[in-house]
Amino acid sequence: MGFKESFSLKDNELNEKRVFRDAIHDYIHVDHLIIWRLINSQEVQRLRRVKQLGGTYQVFQSAEHSRFVHSLGVYQVVRRMLETECLDDVLSDYDKLCVMCAGLLHDIGHGPFSHSFEGVFQGNHEDMTVRIILEESEVHDILASVDESLPQDVASIIQHTHPNQILIQMVSSQLDADRMDYLLRDSYMTGTTYGKFDMSRILRTMRICDGKIVYKESGVQAIENYILARYHMYWQVYYHPTARSYEHLLQSIFARVKDLYAQKFEFKTNLHFLIPFLENNITVEAFTKLDEAVVLYYFSEFMNEDDFILSDLSARFLNRHLFKYKELKDMTKLAKIKALADSLGYDSHYYIMSDNQKQVPYLHYGESGELSEIEILDREGQLSPLPSKSEIVSAILNSKKFKSDQKVFFPKEIKDEVSVL
């Protein structure tokens, strides 16, 4: 019998089990030594210094929580899933360990202010998560100390390549522990009612069929609620124009630093934490050292740099002089606004941004690379995709004119000039 077959979670239990008090899940339980060690690793602790909502806390100012608490929350939702009868039956102890680790670690590859940062410097944060798990890191060593194959098995869940579809669905699908925790948590922290849904009921209606997680028909309305919760959180919170304004400002600062570095500008600031990123030579070690504290420190320093654009953008950021925005109905106007900005002395490359946000509440299999439907098990034992059991989701899918929001962002100082364009 191989290691994976003989592995027993029981043997890995902590003598004294640990709990974290949590505002969302009441308690987060840590029963196993490996999980406890992972939580205390530097790569996971670093997430305390990376905010969950990036710039959104500038709008929903009470939502200042970090990716660390979210990661613990995802782990806890995975744990609750594993306690359901249906999953307890079909998964081995080794599988359970893999998926708890994957839930806890799925976000460790997020850079500081993650989306703006990724846009300029880094590839995909999932790739970085996988690198940290597989390359030299405390996390890697802790996983490998259990079994040599564990890092790869955990990584393959995050990469969607693990042979057991159930484990992938638990951590990363249209209805997974990640989304469940962040909707509940972001909703609680922002003080909105939009993200609430009935997780208990969803977990109670979970079943295994054909080697996949499916849901009993009696869970359909709880799932509809979850999907609408997600839809509303996107428009009310995640895509709030002021939050986007903040992301654009960040992205301009990062872009300016990169461009100046390429032009061999002489920085007063000692950039050593950023060098690997500026030279596109990112190591796991360098990545782990970079968090939002370091980036905020650099912004403080940048206010004293001799480059006007860099010092101006940094001051705008730290003192919350964000870009203004307006709807952009006609894309030809964008060029005009850029020309205007340039003529007024605001380099449009850094001072004029536009984006177009869309949010589709549910995706069919294959659509946009979506890997799985949410499937519903009816009383006769038949499986069907969610939209055929939900009038709401079906109606939404058949609607072709889905909301999108195109906006242009610009400095407050040129507001009057832009408004007459």
Binding residues vs a copy of itself (CB under 8 A):
19-24, 26-27, 40-42, 45, 48-49, 57, 59-66, 68-69, 72, 188-194, 196-198, 200, 204, 221, 224-225, 228, 231-232, 235-236, 270, 273, 289, 291-294, 296-297, 300, 318-321, 391-392, 394-396, 398-399, 401-403
Check the CA dihedral 295-301-303-306 and report its sign.
negative
Q: Minimum distance between the CB of residue 115 and a copy of itself, rounded to whole angstroms?
A: 19
Q: Minimum distance between the CB of residue 316 and a copy of itself, rounded to whole angstroms?
A: 11
| C-beta of 219 vs 341, nearer to a copy of itself | 219
Q: Count other Cβ atoms within 10 Å, centred on residue 68.
A: 20
Q: Minimum distance between the CB of residue 26 and a copy of itself, rounded to whole angstroms?
A: 6
The residue among 174, 180, 239, 220 whose CA lies nearest residue 393 is 220
| C-beta of 41 vs 129, nearer to a copy of itself | 41
CA 94, chain centre distance (Å):
26
| C-beta of 149 vs 225, nearer to a copy of itself | 225
| C-beta of 146 vs 392, nearer to a copy of itself | 392
Cα–Cα distance for residue pair 153/242, rounded to 1 Å: 40
Q: Minimum distance between the CB of residue 297 and a copy of itself, rounded to whole angstroms?
A: 4
Q: Minimum distance between the CB of residue 21 and a copy of itself, rounded to whole angstroms?
A: 5
The CA-atom distances, in angstroms, between 314 and each of 111, 144, 195, 358 are: 19, 42, 33, 29
The residue among 251, 238, 254, 236 whose CA lies nearest residue 353 is 251
| C-beta of 263 vs 398, nearer to a copy of itself | 398
CA angle 82, 87, 90 (to 5 degrees): 130
| C-beta of 21 vs 264, nearer to a copy of itself | 21
| C-beta of 224 vs 247, nearer to a copy of itself | 224
Q: What share of the chain is helix, strand, coil (3-state, %, to 5)?
A: 55, 10, 30
Check the CA dihedral 32-34-39-44 and report its sign.
negative
Q: Minimum distance between the CB of residue 365 and a copy of itself, rounded to whole angstroms?
A: 20
Q: Minimum distance between the CB of residue 168 and a copy of itself, rounded to whole angstroms?
A: 27
Q: Count other Cβ atoms within 10 Å, centred on residue 43.
A: 21
Cα–Cα distance for residue pair 146/413, rounded to 1 Å: 58
Cα–Cα distance for residue pair 411/421, rounded to 1 Å: 15
The residue among 86, 405, 393, 42 whose CA lies nearest residue 239 is 405
| C-beta of 166 vs 393, nearer to a copy of itself | 393
| Three-state secondary structure readout of 43-75 | HHHHHHHCECCHHHHHCCCCCCCEHHHHHHHHH
Q: Minimum distance between the CB of residue 66 and a copy of itself, rounded to whole angstroms?
A: 6
